[in-house]
């Protein structure tokens, strides 16, 4: 499959081959992708067993991992496809949002490569990259599309108009879907040494008997009204329920509890997604056939994907799936964002002559213009939230009028 160095260099001259570097959290990830949609090489390293022992991400430790492993990994990638760094069209790197101390390691390596080998440097927004990888998997994807991004650090809905033009439609007040599932996965003592805790929770939930998703009455979960995600509130009510069961000596069926957690996560996700889609279709930004991509680590969860797909069907949107390996953090999404930004002539690309000796990285940066205040708090149509469960039954939806009449009936009795 590999060609000789000179042949290879000649063949890619008219293509873009971009090196992607991802170090925003605990994964040290590197990939080289081309504009004709090939992943030439991909490497990802993390130390999940140590982080599991420590109970979560330790910034100093992951920065140390990037410092030790990143540069040899880049060398190994280039060597394995018999390329020189100078053969690359550009080097793309995550610069925001993420752990500052971790991002700095990737950026420092990217700056050195850019200056030494005289290739442009492309600073990439990590969450945008999660969304943009969808056009690698789905070549016919058209702008604008909707991105539901659910990861360990973020939960948001964005409208994507180009590689550089995102609009933030729904954001999270506090917490994220991934963090909520991680915390509960750890509290349930699931084996997280190989998988992300969220993935371990999904496996446990899959073992639960039918109907387990509705097995618990959980007090205090965020209502279906509202325009922002609040996964911190959801996490507190789920943990509260767990503690209550523990203190009362009630036996806890871990698999059943995991299924209920997954379902509650889906309800919260889908209620806000529905509100944002209703808003975007009312203003004419999306219509029948517009694509929606679900991306970020939590999008690897097939139960949640099934629920989101139901909401897409309600809005006549085309739901796009990504392979799980491209949902969790990876180098391909950074390299591919670089390709898209080259193709779309992004003004963010820095020519090698202008690359400074250091670049700012940011723990936080919104994905784009914040439009969250424009989304109405109440939707015109309400989803009956238990019907989002991933089965063959259709989503049950009621209009405001139907709702009012139902409440009226209850009062008449």
Which residues are near ligand KG4 by CB under 6 A? 25, 151-153, 178, 181-182, 196-199, 202, 296-298, 300-301, 328-329
Q: Does 87 bind Zn ion (CB under 5 A)?
A: no
Distance, CA of 350 to CA of 152 (rounded, Å): 29
Q: Does 151 bind Zn ion (CB under 5 A)?
A: yes
Phi, psi of 229, rounded to the nearest 5 degrees: -70, 145
Least distance CB 3 / Zn ion (angstroms): 33
Instruction: Read off the tokens for 227.
Output: 């325009």
Nearest residue (CB) to Zn ion, 185 versus 222:
185
Nearest residue (CB) to ligand KG4, 317 versus 334:
334
Nearest residue (CB) to ligand KG4, 153 versus 335:
153
Q: Does 329 bind Zn ion (CB under 5 A)?
A: yes
Least distance CB 59 / ligand KG4 (angstroms): 13
**Burial of 356 per CB tally in 10 Å (0-12, 13-18, 19+):** exposed
Sole window of 145-153, 172-180, 304-312, 333-341 interacting with Zn ion (rule: CB under 5 A): 145-153
Distance, CA of 307 to CA of 122 (rounded, Å): 35
Least distance CB 276 / ligand KG4 (angstroms): 20
Sole window of 75-83, 231-239, 263-271, 326-334 interacting with Zn ion (rule: CB under 5 A): 326-334
List the single partner that 253 binds among Zn ion, ligand KG4, none, CB under 5 to 8 Å by kind.
none
State the SS3 of the chain. Answer: CCCCHHHHHHHHCCCCEEEEEECCCCCEEEEEEECCCCEEEEEEECCHHHHHHHCCCCHHHHHHHHHHHHHHHHHHHHHHCCCCHHHCCEEEEEEECCCHHHHHHHHHHHHHHHHHHCCCEEEEEHHHHHHHHHHHHCCCCCCCEEEEEECCCCEEEEEEEECCEEEEEECEEECCHHHHHHHHHHHCCCCCCCCCHHHHHHHHHHHCCCCHHHCCCCCCCCCCCCCCEEHHHHHHHHHHHHHHHHHCCCCCCHHHHHHHHHHHHHHHHHHHHHHHHHHHHHCCCCCCCCEEEEECHHHHCHHHHHHHHHHHHHCCCEEECCCHHHHCCCHHHHHHHHHHHHHCCCCCCECHHHCCCCCCCCCCCCCCEECHHHCCCCCCEEECHHHHCCCCCCCCEEEHHHHHHHHHHHHHC
Least distance CB 49 / Zn ion (angstroms): 20
Q: Does 22 bind Zn ion (CB under 5 A)?
A: no
Q: Does 155 bind Zn ion (CB under 5 A)?
A: no
Nearest residue (CB) to ligand KG4, 87 versus 171:
171
Distance, CA of 198 to CA of 178 (rounded, Å): 7
Least distance CB 97 / Zn ion (angstroms): 9
Nearest residue (CB) to ligand KG4, 113 versus 221:
221
List the single partner that 181 binds among ligand KG4, Zn ion, none, CB under 5 to 8 Å by kind.
ligand KG4
List the single partner that 298 binds among ligand KG4, Zn ion, none, CB under 5 to 8 Å by kind.
ligand KG4
Instruction: Read off the tokens for 97.
Output: 């949002």
Q: Does 212 bind Zn ion (CB under 5 A)?
A: no
Least distance CB 322 / ligand KG4 (angstroms): 11
Nearest residue (CB) to Zn ion, 12 versus 124:
124
List the single partner that 66 binds among Zn ion, ligand KG4, none, CB under 5 to 8 Å by kind.
none
Nearest residue (CB) to ligand KG4, 183 versus 382:
183
Q: Does 105 bind Zn ion (CB under 5 A)?
A: no
Nearest residue (CB) to ligand KG4, 94 versus 271:
94
Nearest residue (CB) to Zn ion, 127 versus 341:
127
Least distance CB 296 / Zn ion (angstroms): 6
Nearest residue (CB) to Zn ion, 125 versus 274:
125
Please, which residues bridge with residue 17 across strands? 34
List the single partner that 301 binds among ligand KG4, Zn ion, none, CB under 5 to 8 Å by kind.
ligand KG4
Q: Does 228 bind Zn ion (CB under 5 A)?
A: no
Closest residue to Zn ion in the complex (CB)? 151
Confirm if 180 and 238 have CB atoms less than 8 A apart: yes
Q: Does 26 bind Zn ion (CB under 5 A)?
A: no
Q: What does the binding site for Zn ion look like in residue numbers (CB under 5 A)?
A: 151, 329
């Amino acid at each position: 499959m590999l060609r000789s160095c000179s042949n290879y260099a000649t063949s890619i001259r008219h293509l873009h081959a971009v090196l992607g570097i991802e170090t925003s959290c605990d994964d040290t990830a590197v990939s080289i992708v081309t504009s004709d949609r090939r992943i030439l090489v991909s490497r990802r390293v993390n130390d999940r067993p140590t982080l599991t022992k420590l109970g979560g991400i330790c910034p100093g430790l992951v920065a140390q991992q990037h410092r030790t492993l990143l540069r040899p990994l880049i060398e190994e990638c280039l060597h394995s496809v018999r390329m020189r760094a100078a053969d690359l069209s550009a080097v793309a790197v995550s610069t925001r949002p993420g752990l500052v101390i971790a991002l700095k390691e990737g950026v420092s390596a990217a700056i050195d490569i850019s200056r030494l080998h005289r290739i442009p440097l492309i600073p990439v927004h990590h969450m945008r990259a999660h969304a943009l990888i969808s056009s690698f998997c789905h070549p016919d994807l058209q702008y604008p599309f909707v991105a539901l991004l659910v990861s360990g650090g973020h939960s948001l809905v964005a409208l994507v108009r180009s590689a550089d033009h995102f609009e933030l439609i729904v954001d999270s007040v506090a917490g994220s879907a991934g963090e909520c599932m991680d915390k509960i996965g750890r509290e349930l003592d699931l084996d997280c040494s190989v998988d992300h805790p969220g993935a371990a929770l999904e496996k446990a939930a899959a073992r639960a008997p039918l109907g387990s998703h509705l097995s618990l009455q959980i007090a205090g979960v965020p209502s279906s009204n509202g325009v922002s995600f609040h996964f911190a509130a959801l996490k507190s009510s789920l943990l509260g329920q767990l503690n209550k069961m523990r203190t009362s000596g009630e036996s806890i069926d871990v698999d059943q509890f995991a299924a209920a957690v997954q379902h509650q996560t889906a309800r919260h996700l889908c209620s806000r997604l529905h509100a944002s889609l209703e808003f975007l279709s009312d203003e004419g930004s999306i219509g029948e056939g517009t694509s929606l991509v679900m991306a970020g680590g939590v999008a690897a969860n097939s139960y949640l994907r099934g629920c989101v797909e139901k909401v897409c069907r309600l809005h006549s949107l085309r739901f796009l799936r990504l392979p799980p390996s491209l949902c969790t953090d990876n180098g391909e999404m950074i390299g591919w964002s670089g390709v898209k930004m080259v193709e779309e002539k992004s003004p963010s690309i820095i020519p090698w002559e202008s690359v400074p000796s250091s670049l700012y990285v940011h723990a936080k940066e919104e994905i784009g213009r914040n439009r969250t205040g424009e989304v109405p708090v109440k939707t015109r149509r309400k989803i009956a939230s238990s019907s989002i469960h991933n089965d063959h039954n259709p989503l049950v939806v009621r209009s405001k009028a139907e709702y009012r009449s139902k409440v009226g009936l209850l009062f008449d009795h």
